[in-house]
Chains A and B, each alone.
Chain A
């Protein structure tokens, strides 16, 4: 079945470091891909999205590019801040069933 795999955490970075969180997916057809973020004590919120191959989603300094050839959607940020400490979830949706399938999440801690 369709699924999403993410790099295991937790990830700990110093402020201003470069961030990459790997995400790969397994799905037939052409899913849409998303990154959600969960700040401590809160629900998830959509961070960015890409609906077709080679699309780049971006928001709040985060970017991810939909790579169909490698079935990947890696999340990157050039300079992380303490306020970016959260759990990040990669997710996919296929139009055939219109439900969101989430990866296991990657916890990020940014230290001053």
Chain B
């Protein structure tokens, strides 16, 4: 079983709809992240959380919101989806030690979202 699980894996929706992408992890890590991947742009950070009560905006948070329901669960919401939010979304988890030392994010398999 995967350590970081994302649902749904694929979703097609229409402009204006509310969408939630869910992420759960079994590694017991404190830190969780949501990234967006677009061709030629790499991965860009949307939101991150260092624990249940600590939520932070990343570089492209506009149009998105998150909820850290428990240490193991971190969901991403698009309140009113628009076509330029069509992308591959990744959730990741990391232990509560400095990333500069470990560098290791544990990624889910991705959720492909298409907004028509």
Contact = CB atoms under 8 A, between A and B. Distances in A.
Interface in B1-39: 4
A103 B42 contact: yes
Contacts of A99: 45, 48, 58, 99
A26 to B, nearest CB: 14
Chain B interface residue bracket vs A: 20 to 34
Given A43-B108, A44-B90, A102 B103 contact: no
Interface in B27-80: 40-45, 48, 58
Interface stretch (A60-68, A74-82, A90-98): A90-98
Contacts of B98: 95, 98
Contacts of B107: 43-45
Given A31-B100, A99-B45, A43 B4 contact: yes
Given A31-B100, A95-B98, A98-B98, A43 B90 contact: yes
A67 to B, nearest CB: 18
Given A51-B100, A99-B48, A46 B105 contact: yes
A92 to B, nearest CB: 9
Contact of A46 (B100, B101, B103): B103
B100 A32 contact: yes
Interface of A: 4, 31-32, 34, 41-46, 49, 51, 89, 91, 93-95, 98-100, 102-105
